[in-house]
Amino acid sequence: MLNSLAELEHRRAAIAQQISQLGDLRPGSISATSGRCGKPSCRCHQPGQPVHGPNLRFTYKLDGKTVSESLPDPAAEHKAEREVAEFRNFQRLSHEFVEVNAGICRLRPVGEEEINAQEKKRPQRSTGRSRRN
């Protein structure tokens, strides 16, 4: 656990550097689907015959809706796996970045100039009476 303000600031800079070096990333998940097709004469509809699949799909949310893309070959699958793994790494780093910043906020002292600047910005209350009729 980092204890001093200088250690926390150094860790924050290191995390920011790691975030800046991340590659292509995107949220989502990869899953395999299997099933019968829509052709009644296909072998998958015959008793004892295997269904089609597994077909790999990349699923993610876009504007609140679930979108699914087919991954047609192993190269597309590996690309999607790398991007999802990089996104998970980004999530871990951003969570740690926020935690370190919270520690910095707790340790950083409040300076006199900050207090005076805030007091100067506050509007003064009126001492006169209102003109209600």
CA–CA gap between residue 64 and residue 67 (Å, rounded)? 9
Q: Give start and end residues of each alpha helix (H) in the chain.
A: 5-20, 74-107, 112-121
Which position has the higher pLDDT, 104 or 1? 104
Residue 16 in tokens: 């920011």
Q: What is the pLDDT of residues 47-56, one digit of tens each?
A: 888 998 888 9
Average pLDDT of span 105-111: 83
Q: What is the pLDDT of residues 39-90, one digit of tens each?
A: 989 988 888 889 988 889 999 999 999 999 999 999 999 999 999 999 999 9
With b meaning 16 or more CB within 10 Å and e meaning fewer, what string describes 9-42? bebbeebeeeeeeeeeeeebeeeeeeeeeeeeee
- Reported pTM: 0.70
Residues forming a β-bridge with 66: 61
Q: Evaluate whether 54 touches 33 at the Cβ level (below 8 Å).
A: yes
